[in-house]
Amino acid sequence: MLRKPGSLSAVAAFVAALAAPAAHADWALNMPRGVTTMSQQIYSLHMTIFWWCVAIAVFVFGWMITSLVKFRHSQGAVPDTQMLHSTKAEVIWTIIPVVILVILAIPAARTLIHLEDASGTQLTVKITGYQWKWQYEYLDKGVSYFSTLSRDSDAARQLQSGVDPKTIPDYLLSVDNPLVVPVGTKIRLLLTSQDVIHAWWVPDLAVKKDAIPGFVNEAWFEVQADKPGTYRGQCAELCGRDHGFMPIVVVAKTPAEFEAWLKTQQQASLPAAPNAG
Amino acid sequence: MANSGHAAHEGHDDHHGAPKSFWQRWVVTTNHKDIGTLYLIFAGVMFFVGGLMALVIRAELFQPGLQFVDPMFFNSMTTMHALAMIFGAVMPAWVGLANWMIPLQVGAPDMALPRMNNFSFWIMPFAFTLLLSTLFTGSGAPAGGWTLYPPLSLQGGDSFPMAIFAIHMMGASSIMGAINVIVTIMNMRAPGMTLLRMPLFCWTWLITAYLLILVMPVLAGAVTMLLTDHFFGTSFFSAAGGGDPVMYQHIFWFFGHPEVYILILPAFGVVSEIIPAFSRKPLFGYESMVYASASIGFLSFIVWAHHMFTVGMPLAGQLFFMLTTMLIAVPTGVKVFNWSATMWKGSLSFEPPMLFAVAFLFLFTIGGFSGLMLSIVPADFQYQDSYFVVAHFHYVLVPGAIFAIMAGIYYWLPKWSGHMYNMSLAKWHFWLSTIFVNVLFFPQHFLGLAGMPRRIPDYSVQFADWNMVSSIGAFGFGLSQLLMPYLVWQCVRGGAAAKAKAWEGARGLEWEVPSPAPYHTWETAPDEATIIHASPTGH
């Protein structure tokens, strides 16, 4: 029992020494709270169930550890061989877990029902997954473009590229054309795919939904009005060779900035239209 | 009847020994003990093959950037690691233990169908030769994940039909093994060995065997549909032809969820024998353990879609699968409480089998907690397909199923070999495994919560620190495992003689025969007094 903490801290010290020069050193332990109305709820649901688990663990592990310490053969413990079962105990440890589960299920179901309610959205973006990039299409706005891994990340991620990933800003999490959305607006995503199944995941938005060829999935999010910024994620469903290299970047702007951005996009795509046609 | 055919040669006055020729003893054998040994050796080999693949994965993930392998080969490694560990290591190890112990524990002279037993073993080396040979095909080994989701799996080259045929063979072998266990337990128990006098290992294996028979054909059906989609122009899973790729996932996980209980239920059985033995006290709540195992078996059929909450299901479907999944915590909780109550007021000693069983109790419970967290659908949207899930299922499979297999081997090895083994070496194996398994898998919870998806060969630098810790744990764990084959080899070759009852507090008919167990046992069934004396509850 004594060996364990010693060796763990030795390993931790060793690793800390190795990682010390890295400015990014993130020993992150927990889920981000996120920036949408739903992400906060999901985070608190996650923490609620986590603390319940901790409480149960304290009880169960405490009980086990007490036995391990108190009832040792080497200390001359005499076993109580008549202790075969107890209906009372068995009823108690069936009922109490059921009660805890009901306590957990209620907020979980409430959040889920809220999450599945995609009514009242103000902007719809169609997202199409490809091996290995994303296409964003602002429905009824005439804006559509592809989003792929940025060039510096792509160069650095080649096998034995010799480029230190730490020198690349947002290595593997930056793209050429991010998805741009307005804050404080309920945005509907329609997800599909052109080839295999992908999954669109941005932890800060608490959205993860599969993009399935031949089917359209729906999800929504609303970035809080005071949280403009850049939020990053990745494809979450194995989709082949470059599954690890099709990141997602969402830039949330104020509605005014978003409108301005949308206008420039629309103008940029207009002259191209005849050629494309 | 079953083994009277080959018992005809030589005298009957003594235990007839094992055949002298290698061919007779190890190839065409119908002896449950030898077949059990073959299964265990096969499982051990595959454990190291699958482990080597895991080390390729962890070496590549040691730091950001691609240092060693192409992403496609990385994907092959994750796919093949899972197939080798699930179908090659854990399942055959359980079948090996079942072969060795079930006839001894129910007082039967052999498995009910000895020739089929031989056949079901010998399919396995061929199945895995076929599967592993895909590594040498031009297009490389399967790289679409062990779940073989279409359309991605349909992009595979020559390896695709090879892997599917290998899975068919493994499935056939598993079904035969399961039939053998069911027929043995149902028909070959000694007179007086009622079902509720059986050790829990027999009970949990009986339930496992039913699960196997029910779900293996479902897997076979799913992969056969993949095959016809690819080669014969059907479109079961292609929207372009009116099919649905998500339907594959439903069918697959209808197999896949009971499959995870196939891997863990026998572990519950082993732990339910070891904890009483080293607590010197009968198992607490024997009958509730049986009922809890059966409920877990039943529930395993109605929770499958919790593996696929992100595919976009109707709200009612999501609520149903969330609630049924949460319900599994109840019978699992009953088991953990019963084990805890068994240790309470016991007289505990910590020989290697008990050490592994106690570690199982703590670490499997941690896997249970993360499982409960994963059942909460809104939170699952953040956990799904992240390293949090990787941490969860490795906690239930490595310090869960695999620690229980090791506990079982350390528990019964004296019975098999007739020798006690090197206790201090086994304790080294335990402590190194337990420390490193946590260094390996615990940080993966943090990585998943921070947003690292699973099955990626390279990652953003923010994930670098915990990945490095995890990789150090992986190499430490992998190297520690080399101790076990050395220890077993040493024990088979010699050591202090083991008593018939190698452990003071052990119960069960296997401890009523000499150590090593003679080549043929229970040719005369044990009498009822012996059965009652050896039963888990003592009546």
pLDDT in tens, chain B (539 residues): 344 444 444 444 445 688 889 999 999 999 999 999 999 999 999 999 999 999 999 999 999 999 999 999 999 999 999 999 999 999 999 999 999 999 999 999 999 999 999 999 999 999 999 999 999 998 899 999 999 999 999 999 899 999 999 999 999 999 999 999 999 999 999 999 999 999 999 999 999 999 999 999 999 999 999 999 999 999 999 999 999 999 999 999 999 999 999 999 999 999 999 999 999 999 999 999 999 999 999 999 999 999 999 999 999 999 999 999 999 999 999 999 999 999 999 999 999 999 999 999 999 999 999 999 999 999 999 999 999 999 999 999 999 999 999 999 999 999 999 999 999 999 999 999 999 999 999 999 999 999 999 999 999 999 999 999 999 999 999 999 999 999 999 999 999 999 999 999 999 999 999 999 999 999 999 999 999 999 999 88
* Record: contact B348-A68, CB cut-off 8 A: yes
Binding-face residues of B in 33-52 toward A, CB within 8 A: none
Residue A1: the pLDDT is: 36
Residue B58 CA to residue A256 CA, distance in Å, equals 47
- Alpha helices in chain A, H assignment, sequence order: 3-19, 37-70, 87-115, 151-156, 255-269, 272-276
Residue B443 CA to residue B435 CA, distance in Å, equals 13
Residue B377 CA to residue B308 CA, distance in Å, equals 10
What's the length of chain A? Answer: 277
Assess whether pLDDT exceeds 60 at residue A271: no
Q: Which of A11, A234, A238 sits opposite B472 (nearest CB)?
A: A11
Residue B378: the pLDDT is: 96
Q: What is the largest CA-CA distance in chain A?
A: 92
Q: Which of B319, B326, B468 sits opposite A19 (nearest CB)?
A: B468
More confident residue, A10 or B392: B392
Cα A128–Cα A134–Cα A136 angle in degrees, nearest 5: 65
- Contact predicate B280/B505, CB 8 Å: yes
Residue B225 CA to residue B398 CA, distance in Å, equals 32
Buried b (16+ CB within 10 A) or exposed e, B519-538: ebbbeebbeeebbeebbbbe
- Comparing C-alpha atoms, which of A271, A270, A248, A263 is closest to residue A199? A248
- Contact predicate B535/B197, CB 8 Å: yes
Q: Which residue has the tokens 């796919």?
A: B79
Confidence of residue A25 (pLDDT cuts 50, 70, 90): very low
ipTM of the complex: 0.92
Query: How many angstroms separate the Cα of B91 from the Cα of each of B96, B173, B214, B290?
Result: 9, 11, 16, 21
Residue A269: the pLDDT is: 73
Identify the helix (H) or strand (E) that includes residue A198.
Answer: strand A198-202
Q: Where are the domains of chain A?
A: 30-70+91-117, 123-269
Cβ-based neighbours of B130, under 8 Å, separated by 6 or more = B162, B165, B166, B169
Assess whether pLDDT exceeds 60 at residue A6: no
Q: How far is B176 from chain A (nearest CA, A)?
A: 33
Q: Which of B68, B76, B280, B347 to mutate to test the interface with A (most CBs of A within 10 A)?
A: B347
Confidence of residue A274 (pLDDT cuts 50, 70, 90): very low
Confidence of residue A277 (pLDDT cuts 50, 70, 90): very low
Residue B153 CA to residue B147 CA, distance in Å, equals 9
Q: What is the pTM of this model?
A: 0.93
Q: How far is B185 from chain A (nearest CA, A)?
A: 25
CATH topology of domain A123-269: Immunoglobulin-like (2.60.40)
* Record: contact A238-B310, CB cut-off 8 A: no
Residue A16: the pLDDT is: 47
Binding-face residues of A in 71-110 toward B, CB within 8 A: 71-74, 77-81, 83-86, 89-90, 93-94, 97-98, 101, 104-105, 108-109
With H, G, I as helix, E, B as strand and everything else as coil, classify residue B443. Answer: helix
Q: Are strands A247-253 and A179-182 parallel, antiparallel or unpaired?
A: parallel
Residue B538: the pLDDT is: 84
pLDDT digits (tens, 9 = 90+) for A30-86: 999 999 989 999 999 999 999 999 999 999 999 999 999 999 999 999 999 898 889
- Comparing C-alpha atoms, which of B68, B32, B111 is closest to residue B416? B32
Is the CB of B244 inside 8 Å of chain A's CB atoms?
A: yes
Query: How many angstroms separate the Cα of B184 from the Cα of each of A206, A218, B263?
Result: 51, 52, 20
Assess whether pLDDT exceeds 50 at residue A22: no
Assess whether pLDDT exceeds 60 at residue A18: no
Assess whether pLDDT exceeds 70 at residue A116: yes
Identify the helix (H) or strand (E) that includes residue B166.
Answer: helix B159-187
More confident residue, A8 or B174: B174
Identify the helix (H) or strand (E) that includes residue A200.
Answer: strand A198-202
For residue A211, report the phi and psi dihedrals to the nearest 5 degrees.
Answer: -105, 110
Q: Which residue has the tokens 């895995």?
A: B128
